[in-house]
Amino acid sequence: MREAIPMKGQAKDDVLTTLETFRANDVPWREGKAFGYVFDARHEALGAGKRAYLAFMSENGLDPTSFPSLLRLENEVVRMCASHVHGGPEVVGNFTSGGTESILLAMKSARDWAKANRPELFANGARPEILAPITAHAAFHKAAAYLELGIRTYDVDAETCRASAETARAALSERTLVLVGSAPSYAYGVIDDVTGLAALAIEKGLWMHVDACMGGVVLPFMEHNGEAVAPFDFRVPGVWSLSMDLHKYGYCPKGASVVLYRDKALRKHQIYACSEWAGYTIVNATVQSTKSGGPLAGAWATMQVMGQEGYRAIVADMRAATRRFVEGIDAIPGLRVISRPEMTLVAFTSDDDALHVFHLPDLMKKRGWYIQPTLGTQQKSAAALREHVHLSVTAANVPHVERFLSDLRACAEEARAIPKDETAKEVAFMASHIDPATLDDAAFGRLLAMAGMNGAGVPESSAGINQILQELDPAFRKAILVHYLNDLFA
């Protein structure tokens, strides 16, 4: 752990060699054995994206008039994305740092649009609300927290895990401002009823946002490849804004997403200008002010080198692999794929009491794989959504399907042999006597010790921790996660 900037500068090569060693315990994505975090196209476009990123790393997107190169790149990337999701020439948007920023900006635009057009929603200090299915990404909750909006969630069908317009209608309140549909949802990989939700938005004068962070690039290519895809894009009347990430299935270097609006009048509410300070003129389309041109140039170059044909080929391969994953996982005793994945995102759980799915990521890790454990979620009246394991299937995973399935089968057998552990219930019981608002270092330390952890480091295995998190009351879970991260970055 370095405590200060070194007094004397170090040799460049030594520094870079040291840096490489830091990766030792990272998710092993280079082998194609990670099903999350890194989207690897296994395509020469990645090299082009990287070079373009470095070439434009120092250019500054703060002021598009000073760097017309970046203005051109952004307008071209946005236009390529808009036409991909069937937006006409009136559809506009911006390049952002990621899905969360795209969603945050769309929600800011909705809020400020409402200030101008639906002032009654703010009467007596009220907060307009985002109405989102329980499966909508956490970024909507974050946006509500940052923007002082309300957020209300509603259940999804426990079998299909899809949000329906009828359930949304029943959950409307007089403060509802935004409706959200995912295309597809991260956790269950299914496309919500965007057509029904958008029709409801038109009927009630609401803002409809489609979160196509995962599907924006892939779904239209599936359609080009002859697959039936539920409507989700600007062809659906009533869709006002849409987020699509390029750093996921666009296979662009990270820090790349796009937020799109049906027209300029809506996007106007996204833009922030400041004339109340003593420095240079500030007018920003996005959250960052100074921003590197690297991600933008990287995205532009990746899309040029991939081309529609490159993407279509990859999409076809990923879809074939996904179908095989679904079939293969369903054939493993005790495991079951949840819902029917409509793209390349797979969730599977265990119905066998003796086989806890939270052991699988740990056991698979020993064999070099990364798969993502996901907590279960209570719903208001529909059945709970089961704890499960998530796979985001990428091009890099395609050659490893059969190996993965045989390792998973072996790990399921090993997991069945692990005796049940009551620690999670004991920790949850102890936690139930602590007010989350007053969780202090001492109580946190005791909980960590009960969980077998000695300080807030990176845990060796995740099963025990996830079982505990699953047992905790959600408010307490939040408090403990905040405490943990606050200690981790220290």
Q: Minimal distance in Å, beta carbon 434 to ligand PLP? A: 31
**Least separation in angstroms between CB 106 and ligand PLP:** 11
Residue 130 near residue 149 (C-beta atoms within 8 A): yes
Nearer Cβ to ligand PLP (183/412): 183
155 vs 211 by CB, closer to ligand PLP: 211
- The footprint of ligand PLP on residues 284-323 (CB under 6 A) is none
Nearest partner of 338 among 467, 160, 83, 183, judged by Cα: 160
* Between 371 and 453, CB nearer to ligand PLP: 371
CA-based nearest residue to 111, from 212, 207, 194 = 207
Out of 186, 232, 300, 348, which residue is the one contacting ligand PLP (CB under 6 A)?
A: 186
What are the residues facing 258 on neighbouring strands?
A: 95, 244
Return the residue nearest ligand PLP (CB atom): 99
Binding of residue 189 to ligand PLP (CB under 6 A): no
Residue 303 near residue 95, CB atoms below 8 Å:
no
Task: Name the minimum Å distance from CB 247 to ligand PLP.
Answer: 6
Question: Closer to ligand PLP at the Cβ: 187 or 329?
Answer: 187
Burial code of 251-264, b = ≥16 C-beta within 10 A, e = fewer?
Answer: bbbbbbbbbbbbee
Q: Which is nearer to ligand PLP, 244 or 285 (CB)?
A: 244
- Preceding peptide of 89 cis, ω within 30°: no
Q: Which two tokens stand for residue 192?
A: 């919500």
Residue 216 contacts ligand PLP per CB under 6 A: no
Instruction: Give the separation between CA 70 and CA 48, rounded to whole angstroms.
Output: 17
CB of 97 to ligand PLP, least distance (A): 8
Give the three-state DSSP class for 294.
Answer: helix
Angle at 462 between CA 457 and CA 465, to 5 degrees: 80
| Dihedral-angle region of residue 193 (phi above 0 means left; psi in -120 to 50 means alpha; beta otherwise) | beta
Pairing of strands 176-182, 207-211: parallel
Residue number with CB closer to ligand PLP (395 or 451): 395
Nearer residue to ligand PLP within complex by CB, 218 or 332:
218
What's the closest the beta carbon of residue 172 comes to ligand PLP, in angstroms?
23
Give 97 or 466: the residue with its C-beta nearer to ligand PLP.
97
Could you give the residue ranges of the DSSP H alpha helices within 205-286? 218-224, 264-267
Closer to ligand PLP at the Cβ: 136 or 301? 136
The one segment of 93-101, 227-235, 405-413, 449-457 that binds ligand PLP by CB under 6 A: 93-101
Least distance in angstroms from the C-beta of 308 to ligand PLP: 23
We find the least distance from the C-beta atom of residue 100 to ligand PLP, in angstroms, to be 3
Position among 192, 245, 342, 387 found at the interface with ligand PLP (CB under 6 A):
245
Residues in 115-154 that interact with ligand PLP by CB under 6 A: 137, 139
Report in angstroms the alpha-carbon separations of 254 from 97, 287, 313: 8, 16, 22
Please check whether residue 223 is in contact with residue 347, taking contact to mean a CB–CB distance below 8 angstroms.
no
Minimum separation from the CB atom of position 256 to ligand PLP (A) = 9
What ranges make up the beta strands (E) of 204-292?
Answer: 207-211, 241-245, 257-261, 272-274, 282-284
Alpha helices in 85-193 (DSSP H): 99-117, 139-147, 165-171
Nearest partner of 406 among 323, 337, 324, 317, judged by Cα: 324
Which one, 137 or 269, has the nearer CB to ligand PLP?
137
Residue from 85, 214, 252, 479 touching ligand PLP (CB under 6 A): that is: 214
Verify binding: residue 233, ligand PLP, rule CB under 6 A. Answer: no
**Size of the chain in residues:** 490
Q: Out of 155, 211, 362, 471, point to the residue binding ligand PLP (CB under 6 A).
A: 211
Give the one residue of 99, 128, 196, 295 binding ligand PLP; rule: CB under 6 A.
99
Complex with ligand PLP: residue 41 or 214, whichever CB lies closer = 214
Provide the minimum distance between the beta carbon of 332 and ligand PLP in the complex, in angstroms, as a whole number.
26
- With b for 16 or more beta-carbon neighbours within 10 A and e for fewer, the 164-195 pattern comes to bbebbbebbeebbbbbbbbbbbbbbbbbbbbb
* 242 is a site residue for ligand PLP (CB under 6 A): no
- The residue range among 24-32, 145-153, 207-215, 352-360 that interacts with ligand PLP, by the rule CB under 6 A, is 207-215
Chain positions contacting ligand PLP, by CB under 6 A: 98-100, 137, 139, 182, 186, 211, 213-214, 245, 257
